[in-house]
């Protein structure tokens, strides 16, 4: 929509609405070099729809009257538009009305206050992130193992030969292996699953952009009229939104457990040897390694395993026990330097 602009009477200083060609106070005519202006301190006066004009005036070359773009001849002397001196040059920048002073005073401190609040909250957030990052870094540094070196002063080892016995054993499981004879079965809890129990209504704060009036600007049409240009203004409002969150419960899953008897070899004993020296020996045994067509109560040699360690003197003069693989351990000699790791706050090898 267009609104009326004004011109200032050069004789008496009266502010005259642009559709008046003569000053109502002193009768002075609108000057040829008039500059129209908006006066937003006055009530806005809208131009009737049929009078709306968006083209700049032209200036008669004979009588210097300003004529609307639609007029083909001068409204005052009848001269042709094609002989025009030129057209009125509108102000390129739209006019923004100034807010009323009392409103401004009320708004300013509030705005500043919000701004300060935002920036201090931002600083706090930034500080917290920095603090957390430093904390993670420090924890990482603290937990990272450190390399140490010690000197071998003695050796030790322990070796075991499993002793297996062939017999009927009572076992249980969710399946019966081949050769098993079921004695009984039972429904038992095998696992748990999450099942949807109910929904909980929760609320969260969500930000929303809502229209908060308009910013109004007035664009000079070059004929005393100004085009009102409205751009919507938005503000952020927060509202509580409810949503449903599923709540699960643990429910047991039942299955059939079988109790069965099975004939098999099973480790029932160990033959252990150990010493604080560098010469590991397996226990001496008469048990066979293999038994063809075994009878209940028959025994045989089972798996073999060993532990091998060195006693070292650490950089503080304390004795520490380090376990090593058999190959590594065999190659070590008294006085050798060995590398190992500890925690930063401890002398115990990892
Ligand atoms: Zn006047
Ligand atoms: Zn004229």
Residue in this structure with the two tokens 């200032």, named with its chain if needed: 8
Q: Are 173 and 291 in a shared domain?
A: yes
pLDDT along the chain (350 residues), means of 10: 94 94 93 89 91 92 88 91 88 79 52 60 89 92 89 96 96 95 96 95 93 91 93 92 95 97 96 96 94 94 96 91 94 93 88
Helix (H) or strand (E) holding 300: strand 299-313
312 touches 132 (CB < 8 A): no
Please tell me the distance between residue 109's alpha carbon and the centre of ligand 1 in angstroms.
Answer: 43
Q: Are 26 and 38 in contact (CB under 8 A)?
A: no
Evaluated on CA atoms 171, 176, 177, 178, the torsion sign reads: positive
The number of distinct structural domains making up the chain is 2
- Please give the pLDDT value at position 188: 96
164 plus 242 within the same structural domain: yes
Q: Which two three-digit tokens encode residue 208? A: 């929303």
Gap between the Cα atoms of 320 and 152, Å rounded: 10
Whether residue 327 sits in one domain with residue 187 = yes
Answer whether residue 233 is part of any domain.
Answer: yes
Ligand nearest to the CA of 81: 2
**Is residue 90 domain-resident?**
no
* Separation between Cα atoms, residue 76 and residue 69, nearest integer Å: 14
Q: Residue 53 has what DSSP assignment? A: -
Please check whether residues 192 and 333 belong to one and the same domain: yes
Q: Do 234 and 170 have their domain in common?
A: yes
Which of these three, 87, 118, 144, is where a domain ends?
A: 144
Return the ligand number nearest the Cα of 80.
2
pTM of the prediction? 0.49
Nearest to 72 by CA among 48, 89, 55: 55
What is the model's pLDDT at position 117? Answer: 60
Whether 126 and 231 map to the same domain: the answer is no
Full domain range(s) for residue 168:
158-342
- pLDDT, residue 96, reads 85
Say if CB 344 and CB 146 are below 8 A apart: yes
3-state secondary structure of 52: coil
What is the spatial distance between Cα 250 and Cα 192, in angstroms, rounded to a whole number?
A: 6
Q: Name the H helices within 32-148.
A: 101-143
Residues around the ion ligand 2 (C-beta < 5 A): 60, 62-63, 65, 74, 76-77, 79
Same domain, 102 and 173: no
Considering the domain architecture, whether residues 107 and 225 belong to the same structural domain is answered as no
Is residue 217 domain-resident?
A: yes
The reply to whether 130 and 169 lie within a common domain is no
175 secondary structure, DSSP code: S
């Amino acid at each position: 929509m267009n609104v009326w602009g004004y011109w200032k009477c050069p004789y008496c200083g009266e502010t005259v609405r642009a559709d008046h060609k003569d000053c109502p106070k002193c009768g002075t005519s609108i000057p040829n070099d008039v500059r129209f202006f908006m006066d937003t301190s006055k009530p806005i006066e809208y131009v009737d729809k049929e009078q709306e004009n968006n083209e700049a005036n032209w200036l008669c070359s004979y009588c210097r009257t300003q004529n609307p773009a639609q007029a083909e001849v001068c409204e005052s002397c009848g001269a042709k538009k094609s002989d025009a001196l030129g057209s009125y040059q509108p102000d390129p920048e739209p006019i923004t009305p100034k807010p009323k002073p009392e409103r401004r005073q009320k708004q300013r401190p509030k705005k500043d206050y919000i701004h300060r609040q935002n920036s201090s909250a931002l600083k706090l957030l930034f500080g917290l992130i920095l603090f957390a990052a430093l904390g993670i870094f420090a924890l990482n540094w603290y937990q990272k193992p450190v390399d140490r070196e010690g000197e071998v002063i003695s050796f030790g080892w322990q070796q075991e030969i499993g002793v297996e016995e062939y017999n009927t054993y009572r076992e249980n499981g969710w399946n019966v292996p081949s050769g098993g004879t079921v004695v009984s079965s039972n429904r038992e809890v095998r696992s748990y699953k999450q099942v949807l129990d109910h929904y909980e209504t929760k609320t969260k704060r969500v930000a929303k952009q809502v229209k908060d009036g308009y910013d109004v600007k007035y664009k000079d049409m070059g004929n005393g009229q100004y085009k009102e240009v409205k751009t919507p203004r938005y503000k952020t409002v927060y509202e509580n939104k409810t949503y449903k969150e599923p709540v699960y419960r643990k429910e047991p899953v039942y299955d059939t457990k079988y109790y069965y008897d099975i004939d098999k070899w099973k480790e029932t004993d160990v033959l252990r040897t150990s010493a604080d020296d560098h010469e590991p020996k397996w226990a001496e045994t008469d048990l066979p390694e293999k038994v063809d067509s075994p009878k209940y109560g028959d025994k045989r040699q089972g798996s073999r395993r060993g532990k091998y360690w060195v006693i070292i003197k650490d950089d503080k003069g304390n004795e520490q026990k380090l376990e090593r693989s058999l190959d590594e351990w065999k190659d070590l000699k008294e006085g050798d330097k060995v590398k190992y790791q500890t925690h930063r706050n401890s002398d115990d090898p990892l």
